[in-house]
Amino acid sequence: QVQLQESGPGLVKPSGTLSLTCAVSGGSVSSSNWWGWVRQPPGVGLEWIGQIYHSGSTNYNPSLKSRLTISVDKSKNQFSLKLSSVTAADTAVYYCARDGGYNYDYWGQGTLVTVSS
Amino acid sequence: QSALTQPASVSGSPGQSITISCTGTSSDVGGYNYVSWYQQHPGKAPKLMIYEVSNRPSGVSNRFSGSKSGNTASLTISGLQAEDEADYYCSSYTSSSTWVFGGGTKLTVL
């Protein structure tokens, strides 16, 4: 059973960089899967952020691409998200998930990140 | 990329059937059979209910079914139960090798 766990600061200052890590257990980031990030602002719907393959190939949401970096660390079996120049609009619950083949079949529990001074 | 269009809310009585629509374009829903549906209860992570338009993951009730016609996909829940009350989101692969979600539909079981 694949399990994913997000971790990172719950509070980020405006104009700062939001950094999150997703630890994978019960599976390997080196497997034939993409690994993705999805966020959900309070009371709002889901927004796809981007995803990465173990080779380092990435696909990003065009609206976030200029501020976004997703990376993978095969030695630690985890992948990470960095979003720069954050504003209050980036306040959301951030989920990591596994792409099981054109669908997200395993999800982390989510972590709330608040952008505030 | 624009979000897929879903009704904001639907409702039904226990035992009834409901259908949630998800409308996109030929660059996403209409162009690929990679439409998924997710169920989300309050405070919980989304759960995959349907993938590749009409396939159910192991463990998902056969009361949930999916279909697609042109640029519109649909999720049907038959024999509504109280525990089906949740938010439902569709998602589609796009021609830009990205993913897009619908705005979500709140299902109320009366």
Q: Does A79 have pLDDT greater than 80?
A: yes
pLDDT over 90 at B19, yes or no? yes
Q: List, for residues A4-24, the tens digit of each pLDDT value.
A: 999 999 999 999 999 999 999
CA distance B44 to chain A (A): 7
Local structure of B78: helix, strand or coil: coil
CB-nearest to A108 from B45, B97, B99 is B45
CATH architecture for residues B9-109: Sandwich (2.60)
* Tokens matching residue A55: 């080779």
A52 pLDDT band (50/70/90 cuts)? very high
B5 touches chain A (CB under 8 A): no
pLDDT band at B6 (very low <50, low <70, confident <90, very high): very high
What's the confidence (pLDDT) of residue B92?
97
**Which residues in chain B have their CB less than 8 angstroms from residue A108's CB?**
45
Query: Rounded to an integer, what distance in angstroms lies between the CA atom of residue B53 and that of residue B24?
Result: 13
Mean pLDDT, range B2-29, rounded to an integer: 97
d(CA A7, CA A28): 18
Interface contact A95-B57, CB threshold 8 A: no
Gap between the Cα atoms of B5 and A11, Å rounded? 32
In DSSP terms, A98 is beta-bridged to: A35, A106
Is the pLDDT at B2 greater than 90, yes or no?
Answer: no
- pLDDT range class, residue A85, cuts 50, 70, 90: very high
Distance from CA of B95 to the nearest CA of A (A): 12
Provide the percentage of residues in chain A whose pLDDT is more than 70. Answer: 100
Nearest to A48 among B57, B87, B101 (CB): B101
